[in-house]
Each structure stands twice: as structure tokens, then as C-alpha cells.
A and B are shown apart, each in its own frame.
Chain A
Amino acid sequence: MLTKDESPLTKGYQPVVWNFKLLAHDMLGGFGGMGEGMSVQIAPDGRRIVWLAHESAPKNFTAVDVSDPRKPKVVCQTDLPHANMRSNSLETAGDLMAVAYQTSKKDLQPAGFELFDISKPENPKSISFFDCSGPHSRGVHQLWFCDGEFVHCASGSRDFVPTNPNDDQFYRCVDVRNPSKPVEIGRWWMPGTRQGDNVMPPPRHPIDKGYRAHNTNVYPQRGDRCYLAYIDGGMFVLDISDKANPKKISHWTNSPPYTGFMHTVVPLFDRGLMLVTDESTENNAKDWPKLIWILDARDETNLVPIATCPMPDHRVYAQAGRFGAHNIHENVPLPTAWQSDQIVLGTFFNGGLRAYDISNPYQPKEVGIFMPPPPAGAPAGTIQINDVFVDERAIVYAVDRHVGGLYILEMDF
């Protein structure tokens, strides 16, 4: 019998690196609290630039030259106009970048998204700003922008009055084919979340994070579909063949009995599978379990959960910061993004970065772990790995939510 002092459950965080090779770590000039926007651009001069969103003010975004992944170099780091906002999400398409702006309270400015010309990475130039502010809106939390034509985002709007203040962000599609004049062309919200809807508002979850949109993924393999995660509302497959009139095709949720906050939906088209993640938002694993789910999506109207990616004993991690699923590599349809339907890479806050082999989707198997030592000044005393992106060279970029900045890795399995 182990004594309390010997028990691994009280020993706390133990760094582990298994089947990943760390190539470089960059604390990003002391501003290493990173969000969930990561995108790789090949600049006109040939340099490979990874663009990173920050978790919170004062920084807006950071560009890092990763042409040599062993020697990353910060080439640009910009500031937000004030501290009551954040730009947690960004995407690039060619030399265009869209950055989401979300304010801490409603009716503040700027709330929306901004488009930048990033052809000169050291000097991003603003092209336009799409305003989403309003008395009931905090602006844009997350956006998807890969084709250079449409921004799909989780956003509030001046004309949207939610039935519950937590339900302020919904799916919006904005045409940016003329980047200097973005125009909204379509929207969809979960019925019951807008005042005036002809259905009852949905029941609240014990941990109420809102019935609102999060990831809004759209892929060219099915350009007529939006894979929409809706936080406490689960997830939806939308028919967006008519972008002006999105229609629900199917809905799946795990909550209750789970604790809500569905975050990302990634279809694996060839395989008829779908990856769905939750996000852990409570410290000390109070909202455990937060998982990566695998769905049989061969019939998109009848999504069937068949497995979850295995996780370690949550009690070991329930001592500091968040623990549980969050972002995964999303097979973003860019030439600079790695594509895989065999390996899932996910971030788990103090559970680090984990890789799973899903060649047998009924039995996902953990094949890699990256849990580095806590970076200097980590407020939770642990890492809080927040997001991951893999480029087409299979180089892995992972960021820490608090202070750790950027980790650059090789997969070794």
C-alpha cells in the first residue's frame, strides 16, 4: 500500500516526452500566452511563417519564421488597442490573414474580425475590419478562413438578441472576395437561442458555458457542409449549399451527462469518420472527462459515437490548471497543412500534447506524449498546452496557454 506521499496521485505533474522530438522552444519574447489560432504561410520571399494568435491582451498576434524549425525567429509581434479584448483566433489563406476580435464585455469596440495583407510578414497591413459589435455582442471568438473567399465564424451581431446572455455567438458566413468590403451572406443559430424564436430556449447545463458557436469548419471535399461545434449545444452538420440559408442536417451531443463545451468537429472524409472534441474550461479537472470522440459518420444524418481517445488518470492531473481535451490538428485545407486520417494530435492543457493512432477507430491508441517541464513563470505550475498545428513537412507546432510560447516538434512514431 502506498503512503500518501508516495502516491502518484499526490506527486503531481511529471514531465514526459514519448515519441516526440523537441526541435525548438521559443518563449516569444516573454509574451508566450497563446490562443487557438495557428496558421502557416509561405511568404512571397519563400520564408515559412507560422502566425500565432494570443490568448489575451496585450498582444494581438505573433509571426515566427520557422523556415529552419530548429531556429525559430520572431519576425512580428503586434499589440491590441486595449486590454478589454482578445484575438484568440486567426487563419491565413495565401497572403491574407483574418484575425478574430472578441471583447471582454458586450457593446465594446473593436468586436469583429480584421483582414490583413501579410505579404510582408514584418509589416502586416490592415485591409478592412468587419464590425460585429452590439449591445448583446462580444464580437468574434473563432473564425475559419482557408479559401480566401469566405470567413466562417462564431460571432455576435448588433441585431441578435439572445434568449440567454451566454448564447451570444452563432454561425455567420462573411463574403470577403472583395477583402476591403466584407459582406455577411448567411447565418444560423440554434433554435431557441434568439429572442423571437418559435421554440423554447434550451435548458441550462450545471456548468453554463452557453449555447453558442465555436469551431465553424468547412472543407473543399464537402464545400456544401459546415461542421459546427456549438459548445453546450453539442455539434451540428449544416447544409450550406445555399450560404444564405444554412439548414441543419444532423445534431449530436454528449451532454448531459457530460459537461458540455463541444469545441471542434473534424470530418475524415475518406473514412466516413468524424472527430469531435470537448474543451476543458475548469481548473483541477472539475469538468472531467473532456475527451476526443470518434464518430461513425458514414451516414451524416445518424452520427454514432464509437470510441474516445484514451486519457490518463485525471486524478494525477487534477491539481493545477486545466486538464482535458481542447484543440486538435484540423487537417486545414491548405497546402501548408499536414493531412492525416490515421493520426490525431490533440492538446490537453496540463496533459500536454498527445498523439493517437486511429487506424482502428474502435481502438484509438496513444502513440506519443509531449508534456514538457513547466516553463519559467507558469502561473499554474504546469504547462497548459492549448493548440496544435502540423505543417505539410509533418513538423508539429504546439503552444502554451499561459507563458510557454511555441514548441516545435517532430513526430517519432
Chain B
Amino acid sequence: MIERRPALTVLSHLVLVLGVLIVAFPIYLTFIASTHTAQDIVQAPMSLWPGGHALDNYWAALTGTGEGGGSNAPVGRMMLVSLVCALVITVGKITISLLSAFAVVYFRFPLRGLCFWAIFVTLMLPVEVRIGPTYQVVADLGLLNTYAGLTVPLIASATATFLFRQFFLTVPDELVEASRIDGAGPMRFFIDTLVPLSATSIAALFVIQFIYGWNQYLWPLLATTSEDMYPVVIGIKRMIAGGDAAVGWNLVMATAILAMLPPALVVILMQKWFVKGLVDTEK
């Protein structure tokens, strides 16, 4: 719909600007707070201009040399834990979903329909619902405070399996047959043809799942007790001490900014692929 009326243009821009402000202002505030000292922040009203302690604060947060009342674990380490977890979850989810969708679509085996529906039903059972039993299992296996414990329970993904299944169903049968005549076995077909064709879907899923993995909160909260296995999202929570202890808000804010960076980077860098994966498929 294209209309050329100046009043409408002004109005629509006003709405857009308002929207941006509502979303952006808290982030701006977070950034401002991360550049002041802890004392400056608690003074009312807080300054809305950047202070001069940005480098000190970020360095202190990354290395864990701050003096807040809560946890003072180094954020650098937490970022690493988060990154590893997010990547393992993302890559694991994509790999397993690709393989299970491949099995469901291209192989005829007994109970195939049941398998598919079993996977599909787990859509209704997110981590939060099954968190008790999952914790029991992970604890009994001695996986608390390990990368495996943080990632494996989150890897199975009905959504991704379903997405790939739908994509595979649109791949023409002749391609499978041409591969068979060319002498490619099932795995060869999967790796040489199916995976490259799914590249855009994989990219879109990568973005979504990376953010999902990075932003995990509830599960790491249960599955980690030691500071050196905290993902950064948990780290922020632990830095805010309860009770009367002074909170190093400047460091909390710096950590929050740091925690926002990797997902933002992934979205920015993979934006083109992400949109392509959602919009068109190369066939």
C-alpha cells in the first residue's frame, strides 16, 4: 500500500520513532549506567550522559575485580561458558533435527508415523514443564556443573525437526532418484544434496537457536552451582546481592551490555541469510 499524503507520512514516522524510543531507551540507560561509578548511579536523578569510567567498569566486570556485594565472578569466563553452551545447543539442535527429519521423510521403517508424532508431541513439553525429572536425570548422571549438563537437555528440538521435515517434503523426488542413479548412498545424498539445499533454513535456525541458547536462564539456574560454570545471564542475577549489601550496579549494567553483544552480532552478521531462509528457498 503506497499512499502519498504528508500527514500520514509524519504520523507513521512518529509512531515508528516512538516505538524505537520505547525499545531503545532502557538499553541506552543500561549503557549510561555502565560508564559511571557505583556511587554516581545511585544518586537521583541519574545522569543521562556517559560518564568517564567505561573502561574501568568493563575491565572490572570482565576480570571479576569489582567490589559489589554479590558474586564477583569474572564475566569473561561467563561469556565463554555462554558462548560454548549456545554454540553446542545450536549446532546440536540443527544436527539432530536434520538427521531426524531426514529419517522421517526419506526412510520407510516400522512405526515411522509414531516416531514423527512422538517428536511432534514434545513440542508441548518445553524444558520448563519437564524441569523436575530432567534435573533428576542430569543430577544422577553427575552432569551438574558441566557443559554436557547445561546443553544436552536443551538439544532435542521438535520445532527444528518439523521445519526441516516440511522443507525436505518440498525437495523433488527426482533429485533422490538422480542421486541414486549417480550412485550416491543415503548419507551421501544427505551431505551432498540435502544439507546444501537446506543452507538458508539452517542459517535462519542458527540465529534463532543461538539466541535461544544464549538467553537460557531457568535451566542453568538449576544445573549450575559453581561460579566458573555460570553462563552470563545467570551471572547478572548472581551479581545482584540480596539484602542490604551494596550492589555494583555499574558492573551489573556493564555485564548486561556485554551479554547483549553476541546475540546482536549474530543477528547483524547473519541477517541476510536469516531473511533469505524465512522468505525463499533455493530449489
Instruction: Judge: A and B partners, yes or no.
Output: no
